[in-house]
Amino acid sequence: MTTAARPRRLLHPLGCLCFLVVAAFAASISSAAGRVVTSLPGFDGDLPFHLETGYVEVDEDAGVELFYYFVRSESESESGDAPFLFWLTGGDRCSVFSGLAYEIGPIRFVVEPYNGTLPRLRYNQNSWSKVSHILFVDSPVGAGFSFSRDPKGYDVGDISSTQQLRDFLIKWFDDHPEYLANPFYIGGDSYAGKIVPFIGQMISEGIEAGRRPFPNLKGYLVGNAATGESIDTTSRVPYAHGVGIISAQLYETILGHCQGEDYTNPANTLCAQALYTFNNLIDEVQHAHILLDRCVYASPAPNVVSRMDGSDNRRILRAEMGRGMLNHPPARPPFGCLTYRYYLSYFWANDKRTREALGIKKGTVDEWVRCHDGDLPYTKDLKSSIKYHRNLTSRGYRALVYSGDHDLLVPHLGTQAWVRSLNFPIVDDWRAWHLGGQAAGFTISYSNNMTFATIKGGGHTAPEYEPERCFAMFTRWILNNPL
């Protein structure tokens, strides 16, 4: 593996210039590791938004560097004090590019059959960057373009990777002090929803201890968020029953025999049998969105040929592999599946032109994959994040907890249950919230500045399925307006 350059500060190449000139030159550069990207391969013309990419080193001993995409707010009138959103993505070690290109960011893939040429991009009219700066980071190390020079650096977990994110933010804002005063929010979905309140806790403690530089934390938001608690998975049973996936008899059997059982490894034989039937039934639907067709999940596979469908697919992938470009192409979903855009991202991100445009360090990530598949070590040592939700909101920080209402992975029933367990008084009882004169979901607000909302028609990553509704929800909430 080629060793990449480590320095975070740039030095003037001419040694004859005095120190003051060198210092002035360095100070004029917003980020030593960052670059402004004005165009992207596959996007027609210059980008209509400001994009910066770069790395921040968070473990000097192991040489761990986290890669980021920073999109400046597109609202010129608010650019000085626009909200600032720090966005994370779930796992297993999924690249934050998913957030940038499928969920809340300003680019989208043009979904068209892949023919071996570079996939095309277009602008997203529902980008959250219309009202907020967004800093996307590939975390934990090993996700996306983040890397470690020492293989031991990839052995992280909930706690250590969150500490690295805290260090990332301190160094990033040290290089970008102009954003320190902006209202700062942390956001993420799926497994990242477990990390968001934990890093919020770390930042709030740093602020209270008077450490600098820390951003101007105002709150956080999580979507279909994991907590680490059993409710994340046990809530699938009443949800599946409520939407007609399992029978009333099976539902009653599980309730009767699985009380207090570990749903992933039940000791009770009758419970195990019932859950076996349950899992077979829910596998008949798409877990991330129960109304969509089941599609091949576009992730890396050791046996490429066994995961491909169609002679044309094999021809294209083998041609790519024959050129020595791609080692683990994902399965090719049927065209029309939502996962087809994931398939396109693999070829886009691994193209030499893309890597050059983004400033990817050579020899660091030989092959980009959207998500990993258990091939890198990770310790789930944060048992529950619920107490951090309580701590942050009790300290006055705002919170938006939202759920796509068609998600079977982390159903809204489980999220509602742990939100209610906080026992906050209700200040605005359950009601519909609207867009275009129609209900876009339902919401309830509690004291301690916590709001829960559902997204009608949303799946596990709600903005991916209902971008217009989620943009409306985010815009209202981040600007302190009622949903």
Q: Which residues are catalytic?
A: 190, 407, 460
Closest CA to 350 of 120, 49, 145: 145
> Are the beta carbons of 268 and 261 closer than 8 angstroms?
yes
Which residue carries 């720090």 as its tokens? Answer: 86
Give the contacts of 402 (CB within 8 A, at least 6 positions apart): 221, 222, 223, 224, 441, 452, 453, 454, 455, 462, 470, 473
> Are the beta carbons of 328 and 399 closer than 8 angstroms?
no
**SS3 call for 362:** coil
> For 270-385, where are the E strands, in sequence order?
378-379
What distance lies between CA 248 and its chain's CA centroid? Answer: 35
**SS3 call for 463:** helix
Interatomic CA distance for residues 108 and 348, integer angstroms: 12
Give 84-141 as a DSSP string: EEEEE--TTT--THHIIIIISSSEEE------SSPPPEEE-TT-GGGTSEEEEE--ST
> Are the beta carbons of 376 and 300 closer than 8 angstroms?
no
Q: Is the dihedral of CA 377, 360, 178, 97 positive or negative?
A: negative
**CB neighbours (10 Å) of residue 437?**
5
Interatomic CA distance for residues 335 and 273, integer angstroms: 37
Q: How far, in Å, are 275, 301, 452 from residue 282 at the CA level?
A: 10, 23, 26
Interatomic CA distance for residues 51 and 238, integer angstroms: 43
